Every structure is written in structure tokens, then in C-alpha cells.
Amino acid sequence: MSINPIVLLLIEVGITSIVIGFTAPFSVTRIGALLLVTICVWQCVSTPMEDYMIRRCWAGLISGHAVLSMVGYIDVALLSRWSFETRGPATATASCSSSKDISEKQQKQAAKHPVDDGDVDGSSWRERLTFGFFVAYSCRHVGTPWQLKNTSRFSNSDPNYVPSRVTFLTQAALKFLLCYLALDVLTSNSDPEINKKYFSMQQIPVFRRLHDISAEELIVRTSTTIVIGIIGVSILVVNYSLLSFLAVLIGFTEPRDWPPLFGSIFDAYSMRRFWSMVWHQSLTHRFVSVAHFLIHDIFKIPRGTPVERYARFLTVFLISGVVHLFVDTAAGIPSHESGAIQFFCTQVLGILIEELVSGAYRRGCNTPGRRLPTLVEKLIGYAWVGAFLVWSVPAYMYPMLYHSTGGLNDTVVPVSVVAMLVGKLS
């Protein structure tokens, strides 16, 4: 008897919340709970999604969240070892490089949320469960000393600015509506014949087909990359805006707990800045923590070396590729056709190339490495990032588009405003 994947996902989040809120940092219960989480994930990714949901996109998101929840459990419960008693991680990870660093941050957190020593063991189960849920779901650890370095701000000109409750709710509602409409428009007109013509596996390579690529194909490739970017951002913003709107509306959280998900596109003048500052950082802490464990604790690679640096990059992107592979397979893409791992690992190549070129440029021009780039340098950087993404994105997206049938199972929004308008006008 199979269980609804959404129920399995909720069980995963519940296990993580209970373990973090009610067990000691080094409790053996945490290892046993990992077995339960693994069973939930296996059941989720092996269950035929079409038995519970028609839309392939939704199936992929549920499967991806299930795998991410397990990675998150490994991070907060077994590597960082967050607990209610410490109000933070108990061991050093990528975000806390030493025991002294952990102690200092725990003191800051304790000052913000004082708890009497005699009340820790007797704290209400609601307080513990709320803390566990916050740790399980707050991927960027917003508002804590462990907040991700490149977490986006509400205002670049005023780092301390936080919108009022009314302003935040208004902005969240507008973002939700705009992105919902964007998804509706961009995903409601899929044509299977066009998909088969332009998005086959043979059209993914570029350099080996330079003499065969037409101007029309380049235009389609470029426009598809842009549209896919808009769709990807819109899907994430729709979910984030809806959750933040409801959480702030009922008073469960405050606006300050929901900083913008994405950074400014104007910071994307290098591949490294694109992935570390512009693209969302919701998965960064989890992936970096696991990569830190593998590189330093398992393979014992020395810190501060070029090998360690690029091994960390590669491991983080490889983990991301594996997670997105599960998304693809749940959405009906055969695993051997998925380009998820290829795409994400290729981003490391882009970072390596730009760092080699920029390093040679600085040495050739005898310019300091820390100075701000000029306008011309930024424009070149924008062109480089755009070109690299136009080259690399199809490896990931073309298999999805090729298998798209244009029916209900390929729509993203549950209710199509565009379809209703077309129906009334026709």
C-alpha cells in the first residue's frame, strides 16, 4: 500500500522538527531517525506520481523537496547538530569554522532569545516543536548568527530596512499574482511539434555542431534560456510569496523572517556572483555542509588549497545535480536522458574559466584584485554569463521540453486565468 507523497514529505518535516526540538545534539536517536527519513524518501521517489497528481511539474517538486528534506536532516541533525538546548549548531561546519566561533554565536543567539537554565528541560512542547520546525524549514537561518552571508536584503541602500506588515503583505501578494500570471502565460501554450523540432537531444551540443547551427536555432536557444529562467524564478517566488504571506498574515512570523529570495540581476556579471548572490540561496547551507563533511572529514583535503576550493565547488554542484535528477525522474524524464548532473557540474567549469581569465587580466593590466569593476568590465561580464548559460542550460532543459506533450500534465498553475479569458473571448 503506497502513501501519498505529500504525506510522506510532511512526515519527513515532522521527524526533523521533533528530533531537533526534543533530542540532545549527540543523541543516538538522531541516527535512528535518519532511517525513518530515508524510508520516507524512498517511498516518495519510488511511488508512481501519476497515481496522486497529474501535473508533472508538481510531481517533480514534491520528489525534489523529499530529497532536499533528507539532505537538510543530515545537515541540521547529524552534521551541524542543531538542538533546542544550544539554540544553534553544536559542531563546526562550513558556516562555523571553530568551536570558539560556535560559542560566540550561541551567546549572541542566547542574548536574543534568553531562556532560564531551569526552564530548558521544562520548556513547553510547543516551543520546542516551533524551534525544530524553524530549523527544519529555515534554510537560510534568517535572523540568527548563522544566517547565510549572501542572504538578500529588502533594500540595498539601507541594509537595516524591513517593510511594515502591511507593505510586506502587499508586496508578497503582488509578487504572487505577477509570477502566477507569468507561469500561466509561459506554460499554457506548449506545442509538442515545436518541442520535437527544436529541443531534441541532438541539438544540445554547440561546438561540435558549429557549421550546422542556424541563426534561427541560436535565437530559439537564447529565447528559451531566458523564458526558462523566468519560469524557474516564478515557480520559486510563487511558493515563497504564498508561504510568507500566510505566515505573516496569521502572525506566525514577522516580515523580517522573509527577506527576498533572489538578489539583483545587476550583480550577475560573473558566474560565481550569479550562483552565490543572484540565484536563490535556499539550498546553499545544506549542500555546503555536506560538501564540507565529505571534503574535510572523509577525504581529508587540506583547507585553503586550490584543490580544496574547486573540490568544494564541484561537490556542492554535484549534490545539486543529484537532487535535480530526482526532480526530473519524478517528472517523467528517463534518468539516462536527464541533463541535471551535467548542467550543474558544468557550472564549475564556467567559474574556473572566468577565474583563470580574470586572474590573467589583472596580472596583465597590473590591477588590484579588490577594486570594483568598471562599466565596460561589467558589460563584458554580463555577456559572458549570458553566453555561458545559453550554452549550458539546454543540457538540463531540452530533455524536459522534448518530453512535453502540451496537455494538462505539463501545466504548472492549478487554475489557468489565460484559458478562462480565451474561453470567454472565443
Are 225 and 286 in the same domain? Answer: yes
| Model pLDDT, residue 418 | 82
What are phi and psi for residue 215, nearest 5 degrees? -65, -35
Are 94 and 214 in the same domain? Answer: no
Domain membership of residue 419 (yes or no) is: yes
Examine the fold and report which residue of 118, 137, 156 is the final residue of a domain before the chain moves on.
137
Strand extents, DSSP E, 88-243: none
Are 126 and 172 in the same domain? Answer: no
| Model pLDDT, residue 408 | 59
* For range 142-165, the mean pLDDT: 91
Compare 248 and 100 and report the one with higher pLDDT.
248
Q: What is the mean pLDDT of the chain?
A: 88
Helix (H, G, I), strand (E, B) or coil at 1: coil
| Model pLDDT, residue 55 | 78
Rounded CA gap, 123 and 121, in Å? 6
| Model pLDDT, residue 301 | 93
* For range 193-202, the mean pLDDT: 88
The structural domain count of the chain equals 2
Domain membership of residue 217 (yes or no) is: yes
* For range 288-300, the mean pLDDT: 94
Are 380 and 238 in the same domain? Answer: yes
3-state helix, strand, coil in the chain (%, to 5): 65, 0, 30
Q: How confident is the model at residue 117 (pLDDT cuts 50, 70, 90)?
A: very low
* For range 238-256, the mean pLDDT: 94
List CB contacts of 119: < 8 A, sequence separation 6 or more.
Answer: none
Domain membership of residue 142 (yes or no) is: no
Are 297 and 402 in the same domain? Answer: yes
Identify the CA nearest to 62 among candidates 44, 80, 46.
Answer: 44
Residue 101 pLDDT exceeds 80: no
Are 367 and 242 in the same domain? Answer: yes
Give pLDDT tens digits for 371-424: 788 999 999 999 999 999 999 999 999 998 888 766 656 678 888 888 888 778
Give the residue numbers spanning the domain of 281: 165-425
Are 119 and 209 in the same domain? Answer: no
* For range 94-109, the mean pLDDT: 53
| Model pLDDT, residue 51 | 73
* For range 251-270, the mean pLDDT: 94
Burial class (CB in 10 A: 0-12, 13-18, 19+), 192: middle
Examine the fold and report which residue of 98, 119, 137 is the final residue of a domain before the chain moves on.
137
Are 401 and 340 in the same domain? Answer: yes
Domain membership of residue 9 (yes or no) is: yes
What are phi and psi for residue 93, nearest 5 degrees? -130, -165
Cβ atoms of 234 and 182 closer than 8 Å: yes
Q: How confident is the model at residue 229 (pLDDT cuts 50, 70, 90)?
A: very high
Give pLDDT tens digits for 119-134: 455 568 889 998 999 9
Domain membership of residue 206 (yes or no) is: yes
Cβ atoms of 351 and 272 closer than 8 Å: yes
Are 89 and 182 in the same domain? Answer: no
Are 89 and 223 in the same domain? Answer: no
* For range 216-243, the mean pLDDT: 95
What are phi and psi for residue 96, nearest 5 degrees? -135, 100
Compare 331 and 7 and report the one with higher pLDDT.
7
* For range 269-283, the mean pLDDT: 95
Are 171 and 133 in the same domain? Answer: no
Domain membership of residue 406 (yes or no) is: yes
Are 263 and 347 in the same domain? Answer: yes
Residue 325 pLDDT exceeds 60: yes
